[in-house]
Amino acid sequence: EAKKHSNPKNLEEVIDDFGEIIMAKSNYSGTKVSFTIAKSDFLPDPRLFVWDVESDNLQYFNLASGKHDVNDDQLIPNSSAAQVSARFPLSHHWDEEEPRLLICKGVNKYEMIACEVVLVMFFVTADSEQLLLQDVTPLQPDIYNKLLSVHTPHFILLCRHSPQQGNKVSSGAVQRLVMRDFEGLQNCDKATRDAVLDFSYNMSIGNMDEAFRAIKTIHSESVWESLARMCVKTKRLDVAFVCLGHMKHARGASALRDAMKEPQLEARVAMLAIQLGLMEDAERLYASCGRWDLLNEMYQAGGEWEKALRVAEEQDRIHLRSTYFNYARHLEVRGDMMGAAQMYERADAHRTQVPRMLLDDHRALEQYIHKSKDPQLVKWWGQYMESVGDMDQAVHYYEEAQDYYSLVRVLCFQENLVRASEIASTTGDRAACYFLARQNETMGKISEAVHFYSRAKAYSNAIRICREQGMEEQLWNLALLAGPREQLEAAQYFETCDKPLPDKAVLLYHKAGMIHKALDLAFRTQQYNALQFIAVDLNSSSDPALVQKCARFFVENGQYEKAVNLLALAKQYVEALSLCVEHNIPVTEDLAEKLTMSKGEGDETTRVRVLEKVAESALAQGNYHLATKKFTQAGNKVAAMKALLKSGDTEKIIFFANVSRQREIYVMGANYLQSLDWKNQPEILKNIVAFYSKGRAPDLLANFYVACALVEIDEYQNYEKALGALTEAGRCLAKVTTPRDPAQHQRISDTLNTRMSLVKRFVDIRRVADRGDYAGAIAQSRQLLEHSSDLKAAGVRVGDLYSLMVDSTLATGDSRGAQQLVEEFRRVAGPGVNLAYYLTPPTLDKLTRELGITITSQDKARGPAGQSAGEEAIG
């Protein structure tokens, strides 16, 4: 009678997007239920679920991602996991007798998956928190149709037709496929089967003690081999060593021990796979870790040369030539000489290996050399012909290989010196020329020997012969082309020969780098023309006494500039500067650097004095920038600023003042900038104000503000800004707390206050007129005119007062009164006054149109009433 063994499970509560169950299976003991589902849209879910009935725990494995439910974002640490992804479960079965073993048939979702159908083996236990992926077995879909059942160590499969090969024990529609862990153990007993399964399970969870305890009673080598194969899958090399020991596989253990030095785990595991004959696994492992060199070696060892060459050409190009070479040796052993020659050529080893390989077959070797036309092989064949005494053939091959040295050597042996000379002269081959020169020297042909030694650039031999034979002209020409050692020998010969030639000796000593010797000989033999060239190469490391001697020579001959340079090299700075001043030698940048003592060289006081002397010389010659530089290096910044002011370089003057940060230099810079067109250049005006402020010169800044006020009045008639400038001037004067002359300071302050009051009165009168009180404006203007003498000192122009009164009178409609004011102004200012300089253009037009007043001069125009140059300073 059927009865309930557990509580029911509501899958909708624990599975998102649950639709329906597609297939459900129970294990042998009834403690686990596996099932696959469809989503709510009735599409298959890629997950395989397992429900533990006893603990009511639900687990799954996602065949689409190759991940389990514990961490669906992390790959399972198993080499088989990568073969599972991008699939979904089609069917699944539990083992008939093993309740922990679950097999799932997975099919691919995409066409690019190489293996379309796989059998995925899991261990499912109550102790494990997840489904343990044990193995993945690929199936051939054109042979196997359906998984029917699982009975360790076999999968029970339905076939489309009878397979022709493989690990099958019967034929027909239903076949048994041996599990990979049990290959070679198809007929094992139950104890062995359980031991292998326990070992495999404990290996999967990392419990090595239990794994070894499960197989400690096994003595069969085939079982240990099966366990070793399992180690390839789990990558447990420590266990593999134990298995190889029980298998008595000494060679495999030794090879695996040697492979342990490889840094990649996959490379070490691949060596284990090779020793167990799992070549496909080894290929996969080497490829996965990118060890194409080891894969190449494996193919070569296995005789799979096509694969080895393909790997070398595509991935392992660093070993391409060695692969060609090894393949050539393989073909040579097999007797395929032409194929071997081609591979030797690809390995670039044909020049040595092909002659060795074909040495016993002269005809084939000669044909190969003729066909290849390789110069080195042709030369080698010529050497071979020479060794067997066939000189004519040797000459032919040497000429074809363009080995002119060997060709000349054989021709000299044949006493054909004429042709040898032609070849050496035509080709210019140095080795051939040298050999021919030696032959001519031996035969007493001196001229020919010197000629060919020269062509070979063996100048020492040519010079030796010329010295022995007294060929002085040729010796001179050769020495000019030779190196320092040969030039020194030639110079010694010209100095000590029977008829000394000191001019040639001096120049050769100079070219050989013996400057002191050349100068000494030049002075002893009075070769003053040569001194001109030698002195150019003198430097600070030369003998000071010798340099000074040359300097005195140049002074005596009026070549002061060269003398100054030499004295600078000799560190005779004072004498060099005296010559510069005395003979007006231009002090260039280069000369100034030579005359500058480095810090720590001698006394600091002397160094500063020399620097100031250099600066003064440059200043006297108008080189103001150089003078500034040297004064600055000497620490005299005030003198440097004075030199820079003479240059008129405004940009550098501003920069120098800012970096010097000295009161005196700020004031000097501001005074210089006042001489420029600061009225039209706001930046200069800003710098003037800033420099006087930084230089703490408020009295000078006050004077500058007064000048700004006068400019505002004279050029722009802007009395408001002029008043602002005068106010700033008053503030500056107020900052002077301890004037040098208190009485004069008080007079200046009183004068400034008077100016400010008069300008302010005029500004107020303008404002009265602007408000429409024209009568009041005219009356106040009349009162201000009574102080005409003070107005002139204050800068208020009388013409501007009359202009204001004329505009106010015209505004009241009194044209006649305006005319009288114009006439009065002419009497006050004089007959040559320019009315257009004071009256506005509209006022002039109105006077001309209504009263007929004639404007006698319009040479000057009234200044603009807009923004003025002083706005930046007083605004």
The domain segmentation of the chain, as residue ranges, is: 710-874
> For position 844, what pLDDT does the model report?
80
> For position 24, what pLDDT does the model report?
93
Average pLDDT over residues 823-833: 76
pLDDT at 77 over 50: no
Distance between CA 412 and CA 363 in Å, rounded? 29
Distance between CA 350 and CA 348 in Å, rounded? 6
pLDDT band at 139 (very low <50, low <70, confident <90, very high): confident
pLDDT at 168 over 50: no
Most confident of 246-255, 566-575, 660-669, 672-681: 246-255
- Residue bearing the bigger pLDDT, 810 or 275: 275
Please state the length of the chain.
875
pLDDT band at 841 (very low <50, low <70, confident <90, very high): confident
How is residue 535 annotated by DSSP? G
Most confident of 321-335, 358-372, 611-625: 321-335
pTM of the complete model: 0.49
Going 817 to 823 to 827 to 829, the CA torsion angle's sign is: positive
> For position 76, what pLDDT does the model report?
45
pLDDT at 736 over 80: no
- Residue bearing the bigger pLDDT, 530 or 694: 694
pLDDT at 255 over 80: yes
Average pLDDT over residues 68-80: 53
| CB 649, CB 625: distance < 8 Å | yes
pLDDT at 873 over 50: no
pLDDT above 70 covers a percentage of the chain that reads: 85
CA distance to 312, 451, 473, 503, per residue, from 494 (Å) = 67, 21, 11, 9
pLDDT tens for 454-475 read 888 888 888 888 888 888 788 8
Q: Which of 74-83, 263-272, 623-632 has the lowest mean pLDDT?
A: 74-83
Q: Which distant-in-sequence residues (6+ apart) come within 8 Å of 418 by Cβ?
A: none
Closest CA to 423 of 440, 443, 409: 409
Average pLDDT over residues 350-375: 87
Q: Which of 319-328, 379-388, 409-418, 670-679 has the lowest mean pLDDT?
A: 670-679
| CB 505, CB 534: distance < 8 Å | no
Q: Which distant-in-sequence residues (6+ apart) come within 8 Å of 297 by Cβ?
A: none
pLDDT at 795 over 80: no
Q: Which of 249-258, 346-355, 602-611, 636-645 has the lowest mean pLDDT?
A: 602-611
**Could you give the angle at which helices 417-427 and 446-455 cross, rounded to 10 degrees?**
30
pLDDT band at 852 (very low <50, low <70, confident <90, very high): low
pLDDT band at 632 (very low <50, low <70, confident <90, very high): confident
pLDDT band at 541 (very low <50, low <70, confident <90, very high): low
> For position 503, what pLDDT does the model report?
77
Q: Which of 3-12, 771-780, 847-856 has the lowest mean pLDDT?
A: 847-856
Distance between CA 311 and CA 295 in Å, rounded? 8
Our separate counts of H helices and E strands in the chain read: 45, 12
> For position 169, what pLDDT does the model report?
41
pLDDT band at 794 (very low <50, low <70, confident <90, very high): low
Q: Which tokens is 417 given?
A: 């010196």
Distance between CA 667 and CA 673 in Å, rounded? 10
pLDDT band at 93 (very low <50, low <70, confident <90, very high): very high
Q: Which tokens is 850 given?
A: 């209504």
pLDDT band at 605 (very low <50, low <70, confident <90, very high): confident
CA 312 to chain centre: 33
Phi-psi region of 571 (alpha: psi -120 to 50; beta: other; left: phi over 0): left
Closest CA to 233 of 280, 170, 194, 191: 280
pLDDT above 90 covers a percentage of the chain that reads: 15
Mean pLDDT of the chain: 80
pLDDT tens for 20-44 read 999 999 998 888 999 999 998 888 9
